Structure 1
Amino acid sequence: MDVSKNKGIAADQKKLVVIVAMTRYMLLDFTGPADVFTNADRFLQATGTNNGYEVKVVAPTYDKRVTTSAGVEVNCQYCAMDIKPPIDTLIIAGDDYWEIMASELEPFYAWLSGINEQNTRRIGSVCAGAFALAKAGLLNGRKATTHWEVSEKLKAQYPSIKVHSNAFFMQDGYIYTSAGVSSGIDLSLALVEEDYGKEIAVRVARQLVFYLRRPGVQAQFGNLLPVYDNTSIGHKLKLWLNERLHEPVDLSKIAEHFNMSVRNLTRVLQKHAGMPPAKFIEKLRVEKARVYLEDTDLSLERIAEQCGLGNLVTMRRIFLRQLAITPSDYRNAFRTSLKDTGDQGLFPVSYPA
């Protein structure tokens, strides 16, 4: 049953889903949501439902072409500016069109600035598509998420946005934002469930061999510590500590190595890395433990020792705090591909000792 209220569109009319393909590098940003909505429409038609979805993947430029880094050129039937409201659901998929001259995107942003709650029921973004919504002023004062790799950039460029780095997707009023790449599928499944209920959404998820609700948070996929400049205290501290994580860490010893007082080390690290030494060291320990969990068969107890995480109970508590997942669940989710699948004979893979 359709439980949505589609502005300006009759209840028995298909919902217009417009997906703007603004990515050259991540095709899944727009093909993922498109597959969700087109399959949902297929299942709805099979049940005798008269409405459903009309899906249009459109280009942000008048040439109607989306040229991808994979050598695939998508020739869209429409550009965004061809689409006249009312629109049911608008999704901005990605935003790596910075290579295109700003003048070529001016018509698109003029069009996007005319999209609002009066003529569009829902507006969403996938990955860096949040930047396009932000540029159009649609995220002012709202909470939003984006890919973990660019979340700090979004915060810095648009301070009025309340950026949540861990969520796969989130809603603030009629605006929906999602994190990186495959999270566009997470968001689209949630929108289908919002419109037509869990049963249809589950059927689509099964068809795509995907979770209806993916467990965990985005932090599991990203780096807990950013990539620091080679001259920064964060980079130097990472290099020095990496070989010593199995040892007890003495802040005075670290400070002495860098010819600083403990107080000055704390101040400098807080300023340049955004966190105190204790938090920095804990994140670095977890990062190293993740590598062991992904690439080796070391026991959890041994990994805890090697990374200075104490015992298994302590490591579990720290993983839950930093990644919202236990070490054993993390290993099951992220261990080296094909390991323990029974396919090693077909796809031989060598693992480090």
Structure 2
Amino acid sequence: MAAASDGARRVVVVGYDGSELLDIACVTSTLDLAGRIAGRPLYRVELVSPAGRAVRCDSGLRLESGGSLQRTTGPIDTLVISGGEGHEDAAAEETVVAHVRRLAALARRTVSVCTGATVLAAAGLLDGRRVTTHWRYASTLRERYPGVEVDPGPIFIRDGGIATSAGVTSALDLTLALVAEDHGPQLARTVARALVTHLQRPGTQAQMSVFTAPDPDHALVREVVAHVNANLSARLDTATLARSAGVSERQLHRLFVEHLGMPPGQFVRRTRLDAAARLLADTGQPFATIARRCGFSSVETLRQAFVQQYGVPPSRFRATSTPPVTAH
């Protein structure tokens, strides 16, 4: 473990022009809060950038860099590559890619946030690995780096010493998972409560749901997505959806993969699961009612799908997701 004399783990965050501020802040603020709650330094976080220049974020705000990417050396506990609109320029810059590759070899684990996965892929660090990124960029990552297994579904994926996460705030979920790994789940839960965020959102949680519904550019895909969201209890197999949309199954499959990063059947399944998750968390409806409303043939079918996707049964999800009622 790369740690200072006080035992704090060294975390190096790589930023560049066009970085998303939330990609950086979700990581750095969470790690800082973990130390404040613990009452001792747990992480020493450094923001580095090409040539040590200030990082101009997507929003136009500027962050002062703590050092030069080129001059940063190991050992490093955790290397974090931020994402943002500038990810393609960063991935095309040989100096950035070479030094990310160098630092990853000096780090115990390497993490990307959102489109930071593009930089890791350009460095050859994702070849042969299962990874995720923001669903909007998943198909592009898959096409440009065919040696990488891109799964746009989960909010984060850990494959060996490399972890990748989806868009922006999923960095918070991944960072909480890292805190739990380093210092135990109790501290991670305490940090989550302090951040007023979900206590236990596992990496298998789907990125897209009817509550953060994708808005694809393609009109036909948008219409099918709207139909799915409005008719979860109906028959929604690919053949039925294609027939309703007036296209072939093959065409619908191609359009969904191109614009949503997944085939229609997978989208339907995850949309149903996310709707069930919201009903479990926000209502006291019986499991049978939720299963029927969300298109599951039985409570057992819902339970099996829930365990496969989220790693917990619906009963446990409801218990950990529903806030306690406070008497007034």
Normalization by structure 2: what TM-score? 0.69
2:48 matched residue in structure 1: 58
1:17 matched residue in structure 2: 11
Displacement of 1:98 in angstroms is 4.8
Q: Superposed, which structure 2 residues align to 1:261-340 within 5 Å?
A: 265-273=248-256, 279=265, 282=268, 286=272, 309=295, 316=302, 320=306
**Runs of 4+ more than 6 Å apart:** 223-226, 238-260, 287-290, 299-307
Displacement of 1:207 in angstroms is 2.8
Structure 2 residue 77 is matched with structure 1 residue 83: no
Q: Superposed, which structure 2 residues align to 1:1-353 within 5 Å?
A: 5-6=1-2, 12-22=6-16, 24=18, 26-44=20-38, 46=39, 52-60=42-50, 62-69=52-59, 71-98=60-87, 105-117=93-105, 119-215=106-202, 217-219=204-206, 221-222=208-209, 230=218, 234=221, 265-273=248-256, 279=265, 282=268, 286=272, 309=295, 316=302, 320=306
Determine if contact 1:148/1:219 at 8 Å carries over to the other structure: no
**SS of equivalent to 1:115:** helix
Displacement of 1:322 in angstroms is 10
**SS of equivalent to 1:123:** strand
**SS of equivalent to 2:137:** helix
Aligned residues: 318
User: How well do the aligned residues superpose, as a CA RMSD in angstroms?
Assistant: 5.0
Q: Structure 1 pair 61/95, CA: closer, same or farther in 2 (3 Å)?
A: farther
CA distance in structure 1 between the aligned counterparts of 2:142 and 2:35, rounded to whole angstroms:
36
Q: Structure 1 pair 226/157, CA: closer, same or farther in 2 (3 Å)?
A: farther
Long gaps (5+) in structure 2: none
Determine if contact 2:239/2:249 at 8 Å carries over to the other structure: no
**SS of equivalent to 1:36:** helix
Determine if contact 1:18/1:89 at 8 Å carries over to the other structure: yes
CA distance in structure 2 between the aligned counterparts of 1:286 and 1:141, rounded to whole angstroms:
30
CA distance in structure 2 between the aligned counterparts of 1:35 and 1:81, rounded to whole angstroms:
25
Long gaps (5+) in structure 1: 335-339, 342-353
CA distance in structure 2 between the aligned counterparts of 1:97 and 1:238, rounded to whole angstroms:
29
CA distance in structure 2 between the aligned counterparts of 1:173 and 1:267, rounded to whole angstroms:
35
Based on CA coordinates, which of the two structures has the bigger radius of gyration? 1
Determine if contact 2:155/2:204 at 8 Å carries over to the other structure: yes
Displacement of 1:123 in angstroms is 1.1
CA distance in structure 2 between the aligned counterparts of 1:252 and 1:120, rounded to whole angstroms:
48
Q: Structure 1 pair 317/26, CA: closer, same or farther in 2 (3 Å)?
A: same
Q: Which of 215-224 and 77-86 deviates more? A: 215-224
CA distance in structure 1 between the aligned counterparts of 2:45 and 2:53, rounded to whole angstroms:
20
CA distance in structure 2 between the aligned counterparts of 1:190 and 1:252, rounded to whole angstroms:
39
CA distance in structure 1 between the aligned counterparts of 2:237 and 2:189, rounded to whole angstroms:
52
CA distance in structure 2 between the aligned counterparts of 1:84 and 1:240, rounded to whole angstroms:
53
Q: Structure 1 pair 222/12, CA: closer, same or farther in 2 (3 Å)?
A: same
Determine if contact 1:36/1:188 at 8 Å carries over to the other structure: yes
CA distance in structure 1 between the aligned counterparts of 2:76 and 2:46, rounded to whole angstroms:
11
Q: Which of 183-192 and 217-226 deviates more? A: 217-226
Q: Structure 1 pair 229/85, CA: closer, same or farther in 2 (3 Å)?
A: same
Identity %: 33
Q: Which of 164-173 and 279-288 deviates more? A: 279-288
Determine if contact 1:23/1:93 at 8 Å carries over to the other structure: no
